[in-house]
Amino acid sequence: MQRKDILNLIIIFMFTVLLTELSNLDLLQYRKFRRLSDSNCIRLIPQLGARGNILDRNGKIIVDNKISYDVMILPQELDNIDLVLNKLSRILGVEVKELKVAFKKNFISTSVPVTVAKNIELKKAIALGEYKVEEPSIIIMPKPLRHYPYGTLACHVLGYLNEIDRWRLTRLEDYGYKTKDIVGFGGVEEKYDYYLRQEEGGVSIEVNHRGKLMRVLGFQAPQNGKDVQLTLDLNIQKIAEEALLERKGSIVIMDPNCGEILALANYPNFNPRIFINQQPNILNRLFNNPESPLVNRAIGSSYPPASVFKIVDSCAGLELKKINNSSIFLCQGSTMIGARRFSCWDTHGPQDIIGAIAHSCDVFFYKTGLLVGAQNIHDYALKLGLGRSMGFELPYETSGFIPSPLWKKINKFQGWFDGDTANLSIGQGDCLITPLQAAVMVVPFANGGYLVNPYIVKSVGGLDLSIKKRKLVALNFRKSTINIVSKGLRKAISDSKGTGNVLSTLSVAVAGKTGTAQVPHGTTHAWFVGFFPFDKPKFVICVFLENGGPGYAAAATAGKIIEEMDKQGLFS
């Protein structure tokens, strides 16, 4: 081969190299480079809309938004960073060091504003606005922030806002959620986040290599989130929370005729405001608190129902005709079941069903329970809404638990004994219910035999949802059953020896049942479930005090609430 041919080949080779790389860039990596090219010159300037407000049933604001101000610095306009930060620290009253750290941490590129201080007060923002005249690199960015005028009020119903976590992001990505989005955690904020959520608008602009605006490519107005109206009544909610007196527990008040929750109070609680400032030590204290203040106890944790469960026994016995209005069992303070002695909390003598409910006689219900059988008790408990999730609107609802012989066989490899039935009859043992379930359980006795679907969101964005949610399901119990149990519940208050006699002094006729749940460690849980006014029930109430002592304490708390409601004229 001659030298000139080799040279020819070299030239051909050189051009082949060029063409290969050209096809690599233009054909294989085209998408990547087109994206890079776009990101070079297209900038988005976001404009925030406001998240939807949360209102009470009367349209009063529970949560809304307040404008707050972020301070940002545009590095490319900056001459002397130290000078500006010094001045800023004097105006804001923040250490220069903190500002410097924030500046370093948030710096992305010279053309992107850097946030150095968040949520400053209006006064400081105005002071800064004056300084901005001489220092154009400062940007004061107004931004709507969650505002909680009532502090901790109804915090468990509302939930809080925080930066989206990994788990939520993977679930919600398809709905347009992005990293760093602020989303609701717990409560209505989480469940109705999609509606409450504002739509971020913004201007997309084309910039040149210096980041200078060339032209506006598009504008999308930010959309405010939709308002969510709750069924809560702010006044009743306030009364309920005050009545808890910083004792652990929860209170549920609902309308038995439609299922609307009027109040849902829990303690310990938290202030959703602390998630706005994001101070790590305060948040850590909250998350690590052993009392778990973030848990919505009314729906999220379950407890042994104790004597409250006797309502289930009564229904099962009466419906299955194992007992009737005139059945009488003799209470001698205790009874033998199998080889074990099961005691009553008192010696009641002969008791009929109404008296037994009123005095909460254990022996009567041991015997009724044994007549009915464990499986039937289990079935009737489920009919009354226990032991299963209600599909309530707030997240993290627990279903509670009602044991049955089959369950014991499968899970514990043990047979079911009469002792288990006796334990179940007085709501002890493995039996667990939530305060909301307890409230729902007494609803049929307040509205003449209908189970309701409890709900807490009345309307979203002005669209009334209550018609869809209002579901009254007939229990198909006999009228007499409902009447007898109601009478028993009324007698528990009106009878001088009734367990809820403390409520008899109220101006309004109350019916209800107390419960004192034994726990493995510590003081007993106190329960009270009831409804009022007895003639034409408008409210169902459940008071639960965790380790709150005897059921009497819960009844007394309920009494305070009813009294206060009466005083404020909330019965009409």
Partner 1 sequence: MRNSFFMILILALLIAISGVFSIYSSTYQKEGVWKDIYMRQILWLAIGLICFFVMSGFNYRKLWDANYFIYGLALFFLFLVFVLGIVRLGAQRWLKFAWFNFQPSEFAKLAVIIFLARYFSRKSVDDTSLLSGKFGIFQGLILPFIFVAVPMFLIIEQPDLGSGIILLLIFVYLLYLTNVRLKYIFTFLIFLVLPMPFFWHFLRDYQKQRLLVFLNPNVDPLGAGYTIIQSRIAIGSGGFLGRGWLGGSQSQLYFLPESHTDFIFATFSEQWGFLGSLVLILMYYLIIRQGFIIAQRTQDTFGKLLAYGISLLLSIQVFINIAMNMGLAPVVGLPLPLMSYGGSSVLATFIALGILVNIDRTRNVF
DSSP states of 186-209: SHHHHHTHHHHPPBPEEEEEEE-T
Nearer to partner 1 among residue 19 and residue 133 (C-beta): 19
| Whole-angstrom distance, CA of residue 35 vs CA of residue 30 | 9
Nearer to partner 1 among residue 172 and residue 207 (C-beta): 207
Q: Is 18 helix (H, G, I), strand (E, B) or coil?
A: helix
Q: Which of 209, 321, 479, 536 binds partner 1 (CB under 8 A)?
A: 209
Nearer to partner 1 among residue 36 and residue 221 (C-beta): 36
Region of 11-19, 173-181, 495-503, 532-540 interacting with partner 1 (CB under 8 A): 11-19
- Give residues 214-233 in contact with partner 1 (rule: CB under 8 A): 214
- Give residues 295-314 in contact with partner 1 (rule: CB under 8 A): none
**Residues 6 or more apart in contact with residue 491 via CB below 8 angstroms:** 354, 355, 357, 358, 498
Nearer to partner 1 among residue 81 and residue 207 (C-beta): 207
Nearer to partner 1 among residue 114 and residue 161 (C-beta): 114
Residue 19 binds partner 1, judged by CB under 8 A: yes
DSSP states of 437-489: HHHHHHHHHHHTSEEE--B-EEEETTEE-HHHH--EEE----HHHHHHHHHHH
CA angle in degrees (0–180, nearest 5) for 398-281-173: 50
Length of the chain: 572
Partners of 47 in the β-ladder: 201
**Residues 6 or more apart in contact with residue 31 via CB below 8 angstroms:** none
| Whole-angstrom distance, CA of residue 163 vs CA of residue 130 | 32
Number of residues interacting with partner 1: please give it, by CB under 8 A.
31
Q: Which of 1, 14, 133, 336 binds partner 1 (CB under 8 A)?
A: 14
* 337 DSSP assignment: E
Region of 76-84, 200-208, 271-279, 544-552 interacting with partner 1 (CB under 8 A): 200-208
Partners of 142 in the β-ladder: 69
Nearer to partner 1 among residue 1 and residue 339 (C-beta): 1
For residue 345, what are the CA distances in angstroms to 57, 172, 493, 499, 525? Answer: 42, 52, 18, 12, 15
Nearer to partner 1 among residue 74 and residue 509 (C-beta): 74
- Give residues 137-156 in contact with partner 1 (rule: CB under 8 A): none
Nearer to partner 1 among residue 206 and residue 563 (C-beta): 206
Residue 26 binds partner 1, judged by CB under 8 A: yes
Nearer to partner 1 among residue 75 and residue 419 (C-beta): 75
Amino acid at 327: S
- Give residues 313-342 in contact with partner 1 (rule: CB under 8 A): none
**Residues 6 or more apart in contact with residue 518 via CB below 8 angstroms:** 304, 306, 428, 524
DSSP states of 70-109: EEEE-GGG-S-HHHHHHHHHHHHT--HHHHHHHHHHH---
Q: Which of 9, 37, 375, 568 binds partner 1 (CB under 8 A)?
A: 37
Residue 208 binds partner 1, judged by CB under 8 A: yes
What is the per-residue binding string for partner 1 in 368-407, x denoting contact by CB under 8 A? ----------------------------------------
Amino acid at 486: S
Residue 213 binds partner 1, judged by CB under 8 A: no
User: For residue 68, what are its two tokens?
Assistant: 């707050």
- Give residues 445-474 in contact with partner 1 (rule: CB under 8 A): none
- Give residues 511-570 in contact with partner 1 (rule: CB under 8 A): none
Nearer to partner 1 among residue 38 and residue 464 (C-beta): 38
User: For residue 129, what are its two tokens?
Assistant: 């606005």
Which residue is it, tokens 């849980």?
A: 525
- Give residues 93-112 in contact with partner 1 (rule: CB under 8 A): none
Smallest distance from partner 1 to CB 88, Å:
27
User: For residue 22, what are its two tokens?
Assistant: 């050209």
Residue 1 binds partner 1, judged by CB under 8 A: no
**Residues 6 or more apart in contact with residue 564 via CB below 8 angstroms:** 239, 242, 243
Residues at the interface with partner 1 (CB under 8 A) = 3-4, 7-8, 11, 14-15, 17-19, 21-23, 25-27, 29-30, 32-34, 36-38, 40-41, 206-209, 214
